[in-house]
Amino acid sequence: YDDRDGKIWMDGVLVDWRAANVHILSHALHYASSVFEGERAYNGRIFRSTDHSERLLNSGRLLEMDIPWSAAEIDRAKEQVLAANGLSDAYIRAIAFRGVGEEMGVASLGNPVRLAIAAWEWGAYYGAAREEGARLDMAKWRRPSPETIPSEAKAAGLYMICTMSKHAALARGCSDALMLDYRGYVAEATGANIFFVREGEVHTPLADCFLNGITRQTVLQLLRDMQVRVHERHILPDELDSFEQCWLTGTAAEVTPVRQIGRWHFEPGEMSRRVAAEYHRLVRA
Ligand code: PMP
């Protein structure tokens, strides 16, 4: 993805896409000291832009990484990137990371914290599954305890097991993997949160050890507005049998129905369709 035209914002300036490089001895590359955001713009407007900028700053704080920009400056930089690339419907990726210091090692006291922002056109995350319903595999890896890693952060280190889980799922013909948490409760997919429906009520895992997605929060509000009863709680995989519908939420995934998780089957039903339609209406409003 490095050989194309366009501009990427790096540390306050727009640079050519092909020149947006970092040195091989950057701390982030060796020790996963980076935090990032995924956002979407619809009709030229970034959905919940400031919430994403603030989450980025907060992820940095959780890693004791002081990002030298304010949320308002980050918001403006994202606008600049969209304009420079002539984009109106796009995916935006901001990444803050520890660069190169005086010494090379685990400690990163003098290394600058750098920020880069890129944007590009990106269609449906799960492709045709957005209409047909995604098939998920059960992941072998579990979301770690919040005492093991700052699990609230959108930090690179948390994605190592996501990539491995997703590769295993793709090799089995699935779109993604469902990860359990360290206690064995249903947690999330590798880049999206999960919701279930039973007898007209919604059940979703309590976000106490994984990313409480901005799309998840948006969808919870939509459900409240629709007067749907929602249970945020611990869900055991044994319960998957009892759910009729299931969908995933995420900036990239938007609202994608799920038709299968391992041996369990779901109907992309009425509630999934309504939530997806309401979400699409809202992001373009
Ligand atoms: N969980 C993980 C692991 C993710 O990477 C994402 C995508 N950022 C989500 C959940 C959904 O978060 P959001 O709705 O904020 O995009």
For the chain, what is the domain count? 2
Q: Which pLDDT belongs to residue 34? A: 98
Residues 105 and 217 in one domain: no
Count CB atoms within 10 A of the CB of residue 250.
Answer: 24
Q: Is residue 43 part of a domain?
A: yes
Q: How far is CA 18 from the centre of its chain?
A: 25
Distance (angstroms) between ligand 1 centre and the Cα of 103 equals 34
Of 120, 141, 156, the residue that ends a domain is: 120
- CATH of residue 160: 3.20.10.10
Candidate from 251, 254, 255 with most ligand 1 atoms within 8 A of CB, to mutate: 251
pLDDT per residue over 173-232, tens digit each?
999 999 999 999 999 999 999 999 999 999 999 999 999 999 999 999 999 999 999 999
Q: Which pLDDT belongs to residue 125? A: 87
Question: Ligand 1, atom 12: nearest CA belongs to which residue?
Answer: 213
Domain hosting residue 32, numbered range: 7-120
Question: Ligand 1, atom 6: nearest CA belongs to which residue?
Answer: 191
Residues 133 and 223 in one domain: yes
The share of the chain scoring above pLDDT 90, in percent, equals 95
The residue that leads in pLDDT, 268 or 3, is: 3
Distance (angstroms) between ligand 1 centre and the Cα of 48 equals 14
Rounded distance between C-alpha atoms, residue 178 and residue 117, angstroms: 29
Q: Which whole-number Å values give the CA distances from 75 to 17, 70, 168, in the listed order? A: 20, 9, 36
Q: Which pLDDT belongs to residue 237? A: 97
pLDDT per residue over 218-263, tens digit each?
999 999 999 999 999 999 999 999 999 999 999 999 999 999 999 9
Distance (angstroms) between ligand 1 centre and the Cα of 284 equals 20
Asked whether the predicted pLDDT for residue 124 surpasses 90, the reply is no
Residues 108 and 137 in one domain: no
Rounded distance between C-alpha atoms, residue 258 and residue 246, angstroms: 5
Question: What's the whole-number mean pLDDT along residues 128-140?
Answer: 92
Residues 265 and 141 in one domain: yes
Residues 136 and 265 in one domain: yes
Q: Is residue 141 part of a domain?
A: yes
**Residue 261 Cβ contacting ligand 1 at under 6 Å:** no
Rounded distance between C-alpha atoms, residue 254 and residue 131, angstroms: 12
Question: What's the whole-number mean pLDDT along residues 132-151?
Answer: 97
Q: Which pLDDT belongs to residue 165? A: 98
Rounded distance between C-alpha atoms, residue 282 and residue 285, angstroms: 5
Residues 141 and 96 in one domain: no
- Contact indicator for 113, 236 with CB cutoff of 8 Å: no
Distance (angstroms) between ligand 1 centre and the Cα of 36 equals 11
**Residue 205 Cβ contacting ligand 1 at under 6 Å:** no
Asked whether the predicted pLDDT for residue 129 surpasses 90, the reply is no
**Residue 135 Cβ contacting ligand 1 at under 6 Å:** no
Q: How far is CA 222 from the centre of its chain?
A: 19
Strand partners, 65: none
By DSSP bridging, strand 264-265 and strand 45-46 are unpaired
**Residue 192 Cβ contacting ligand 1 at under 6 Å:** yes
Residues 145 and 259 in one domain: yes
Residues 96 and 42 in one domain: yes
Residue 131 pLDDT grade (very low, low, confident, very high; cuts 50, 70, 90)? confident
Question: What's the whole-number mean pLDDT along residues 72-88?
Answer: 98
**Residue 214 Cβ contacting ligand 1 at under 6 Å:** yes
Q: Is residue 233 part of a domain?
A: yes
Q: How far is CA 209 from the centre of its chain?
A: 14
Q: Which pLDDT belongs to residue 123? A: 87
Residues 90 and 174 in one domain: no
- CATH of residue 45: 3.30.470.10
Measured from the CA of 37, which atom of ligand 1 is nearest?
8
Question: Ligand 1, atom 3: nearest CA belongs to which residue?
Answer: 191
Of 66, 86, 120, the residue that ends a domain is: 120
Distance (angstroms) between ligand 1 centre and the Cα of 192 equals 5
Of 85, 120, 155, the residue that ends a domain is: 120
Active-site residue, selected from the candidate residues 7, 78, 154, 166 = 154
Helix (H, G, I), strand (E, B) or coil at 29: helix
Q: Is residue 76 part of a domain?
A: yes
Residue 60 pLDDT grade (very low, low, confident, very high; cuts 50, 70, 90)? very high
Residues 152 and 84 in one domain: no
Q: Is residue 1 part of a domain?
A: no
Question: What's the whole-number mean pLDDT along residues 136-163?
Answer: 98
Q: Is residue 2 part of a domain?
A: no
Q: Is residue 238 part of a domain?
A: yes
By DSSP bridging, strand 186-189 and strand 134-138 are unpaired
Q: Is residue 159 part of a domain?
A: yes
Residue-averaged pLDDT of the chain: 97
154 is catalytic: yes
pTM score: 0.97
Residues 154 and 279 in one domain: yes
Measured from the CA of 39, which atom of ligand 1 is nearest?
16
Candidate from 36, 194, 211 with most ligand 1 atoms within 8 A of CB, to mutate: 211
Residues 105 and 144 in one domain: no
Distance (angstroms) between ligand 1 centre and the Cα of 248 equals 10
Q: Which pLDDT belongs to residue 176? A: 98
Q: Which pLDDT belongs to residue 103? A: 92
